[in-house]
Chains A and B, each alone.
Chain A
Amino acid sequence: MTEVRLQTQALSRRFGALVAVRNIDFKLAAGARHALIGPNGAGKTTFINLLTGVLPPTRGRVLLGDRDITGLAQAERVKLGIARTFQINRLFRGLSVLENVCIAIAERVGAARSMFYPAGKRTDIIDEAMQLLQTLALADAARLRVSELPYGRQRLVELAIAIALRPTVLLLDEPAAGVPSAESHIILDAVERLPEDIAVLIIEHDMDVVFRFARRVTVMVGGALFAEGTPREIESNPQVREVYLGQAPYRAAHV
């Protein structure tokens, strides 16, 4: 077993009477390609919100390496190397694609503190942003406003911002959801080409993608861990089949 980058211990979160995340012990290895699957409302997004500090847990701990980060704010966790994408785009819609990425890079390298040095003179930042956009086939859209892009390319910008933070742990919440399949392969290609040493956790409903990408799969149902294993093991697990057959017929073909 390789080194554990991120783990949770008895992590729980309630919303009033609803337990959205229930007592989860989870480990994400360094360099992992890990998929998190589960029916709608299983608590996947909530789990990621707990990992990134968007929400405080009701109980339990989150550890990065051996460091307890449960009490840290979102921004502090980002500084320690945890980045994410959101299931629903959170972009600077009125700014250009290039600026979206530049803002993230400037924040990472600490340039965003400087109040009297023109951002335009930081050619290192702009250069890095342009290179990143090229790898994502976004260079031709660099000067368009995000709101002018089709949805599929907006999802790509969402990914670009997360990558620009040079994370060691990357959490992707349905990166290709809602994107027509003709475009979704660009996103998934980009995910596959991420540097090897980043630990990636991806929430994904499309089982083809999960099989292509993931080396480990965790199934979440009703807020709790339901099963974990290699894609083969999960595929042949009769209980997992049942959950999916019972709840989401459109995925049954893949399982």
Chain B
Amino acid sequence: MSVAASPADDAAAAAPIENPAARALMRRHRVHGWEALPWLAGIAFYFAFPDYLSFGCDLLVTILFALSLDLALGYAGIITLGHAAFFGAGAYAVGMLATYNIWTEPITGLLLAALVAGVIGFLSGMVLLRTRGLTLLMLTLCTMALLEQAANMAAAYTGGFDGLPSLPIGPVFGVFAFNPLYADTQYLFALSVLFVCFVFMRTLVYSAFGQSLTGIRENILRMHAIGSPVRRRVLICYTISAAMAGVAGGLWAQTNAYVNLSALGLDRAATVLIVLILGGYGRLYGAFIGAVVYLALEHFLAQIYPTAWQLGLGILLVFIALFARGGILGLAEALWRRYSGKLSRRLRAERAAP
């Protein structure tokens, strides 16, 4: 641009990259020290709560599933009610391969789960993602219901309503066997899988591709107008998200050693949506916070006071929708901003005072 710099901003004009906004953008992808916390907590959990490891597995699977939804919904803004379709596809892929002793190795099993779910995501996405709003909600919902009924009908292969129990899952690396009675290996395996998937997703969302996904979420019409191949981007994102949900489903099947129709239903799709939004979508760590809070509350409240749990959950959802759109993390961020804003104002005032 051969345009004279405006006099308005001399300091920044000297070296544009020194601008705080530019610096923030350049640093955003860097790993912060606190990001080790969830993983340390995950390992600490293993030692601190040996009796709760199967609960821990469910927690890790839910985080992974919510992360996959976050990619589609939180980043690309694809509003879907049918994400459990991919979770279920992954779960049944692992379950059926194991039941019929075709494939029991867990790591490659998860890759196959990702492949199956990803292919379903790609094919359905190709036709569904042209639509928006209620139509898209309905199409995703119906696709999931379709898969659910298909699994129900093909009872000879899927076990129908009862599902496939006692899956034989091979040992990890041929060494670490899954103990059906005690979920220690399962827990560590799930934690590792979650870690790998998280690193993948974190890289993705901080790439320029990820940035363009947020652009699509924020204003899809503008993305078209800056020359972005929006449809292709959305389809790629949806496929990756589906594959990741498939891994979550496969992991669920492996750690529980069973599959049933609950993998595919509206219940699961709605729950993961709630988990994600409760934690805060479009934020990477929202899935973690949401899953921990939701599952902990559910685990301790739902069994004892099921109705009160439901009532409380309902009120919470209404509250979030009306007043706290960013979920728990969004609230925390707003509080932090207010606090740090006040702090920096005070610092500036103090500096200006003498």
Chain A residues in contact with chain B, CB under 8 A? 52, 54, 73-79, 83-84, 86, 90-99, 102-104, 106-108, 111-123, 125-127, 129-132, 134-137, 139-140, 142-143, 161, 163, 165, 190, 193-195
Task: Say yes or no for B222: interface residue by CB 8 A criterion.
Answer: yes
B contacts with A: majority SS: helix
Task: Say yes or no for B210: interface residue by CB 8 A criterion.
Answer: yes
Report the Cα distance A106→B216, complex, angstroms: 14
Instruction: Assess the A195–B2 pair: CB atoms within 8 A.
Output: yes
A-B contact pairs, 22 of them (CB 8 A): A76-B227, A92-B219, A93-B218, A95-B215, A98-B25, A99-B211, A103-B211, A103-B214, A108-B226, A114-B207, A116-B203, A120-B27, A121-B29, A126-B17, A130-B17, A136-B6, A137-B9, A139-B19, A140-B8, A140-B9, A143-B24, A193-B4
Instruction: Assess the A107–B227 pair: CB atoms within 8 A.
Output: yes
B210 CB contacts on chain A under 8 angstroms = 115, 119
**Total inter-chain residue pairs, C-beta < 8 Å:** 178
Report the Cα distance A90→B225, complex, angstroms: 9
Instruction: Assess the A123–B26 pair: CB atoms within 8 A.
Output: yes
Instruction: Assess the B209–A132 pair: CB atoms within 8 A.
Output: no
Q: How far is the CB of B27 from chain A (nearest CB, A)?
A: 6
Instruction: Assess the A94–B218 pair: CB atoms within 8 A.
Output: yes
Report the Cα distance A106→B12, complex, angstroms: 22
Cross-interface CB contact of A119 among B8, B206, B218, cutoff 8 Å: B206
Report the Cα distance A93→B229, complex, angstroms: 20
Who on chain B is nearest to A90 by CB?
B222
A91 CB contacts on chain B under 8 angstroms = 218-219, 222
Instruction: Assess the A74–B224 pair: CB atoms within 8 A.
Output: yes
Extra contacts, 14 of them, besides A104-B226, A161-B222 (Cβ < 8 A), are A54-B225, A73-B224, A75-B228, A84-B225, A111-B208, A117-B208, A120-B25, A123-B17, A123-B26, A126-B17, A130-B16, A134-B5, A135-B3, A193-B3
Who on chain A is nearest to B5 by CB?
A134
Instruction: Assess the A118–B207 pair: CB atoms within 8 A.
Output: yes
Who on chain A is nearest to B282 by CB?
A94
Interface residues on B, range: 35 or more
Instruction: Assess the A195–B212 pair: CB atoms within 8 A.
Output: no
Task: Say yes or no for B174: interface residue by CB 8 A criterion.
Answer: no
Report the Cα distance A111→B207, complex, angstroms: 9
Q: Which of B1-36 contact A (CB under 8 A)?
A: 1-6, 8-9, 12-13, 16-17, 19-22, 24-30
Of A108, A118, A135, which is in contact with the most chain B CB atoms at under 10 Å from its CB? Answer: A118
Who on chain B is nearest to A98 by CB?
B21
Instruction: Assess the A75–B229 pair: CB atoms within 8 A.
Output: yes
A119 CB contacts on chain B under 8 angstroms = 25, 28-29, 206-208, 210-211
Report the Cα distance A131→B224, complex, angstroms: 24
Report the Cα distance A76→B214, complex, angstroms: 21
Report the Cα distance A76→B231, complex, angstroms: 13
Report the Cα distance A92→B214, complex, angstroms: 8
Instruction: Assess the B22–A126 pair: CB atoms within 8 A.
Output: yes
Instruction: Assess the B206–A120 pair: CB atoms within 8 A.
Output: yes
The 10 A-B pairs of least Cβ separation, nearest first, read A78-B227, A143-B21, A130-B16, A142-B21, A92-B218, A118-B29, A90-B222, A137-B6, A139-B9, A137-B8
B12 CB contacts on chain A under 8 angstroms = 130, 134, 139-140, 142
Q: Known contacts A126-B25, A139-B9; is A90 also within 8 Å of B206 by CB?
A: no
Q: Known contacts A95-B218, A98-B25; is A106 also within 8 Å of B4 by CB?
A: no
Who on chain B is nearest to A122 by CB?
B208
Instruction: Assess the B6–A95 pair: CB atoms within 8 A.
Output: no
Report the Cα distance A73→B225, complex, angstroms: 10
Of B20, B21, B206, B233, which is in contact with the most chain A CB atoms at under 10 Å from its CB? Answer: B21
Contact pattern, B 132-146, Cβ under 8 Å of A = 1, otherwise 0: 000000000000000
Who on chain B is nearest to A126 by CB?
B22
Report the Cα distance A10→B10, complex, angstroms: 50
A139 CB contacts on chain B under 8 angstroms = 8-9, 12-13, 16, 19
Q: Which of B171-216 contact A (CB under 8 A)?
A: 203-204, 206-212, 214-215
Report the Cα distance A84→B19, complex, angstroms: 28
Q: How far is the CB of B287 from chain A (nearest CB, A)?
A: 19
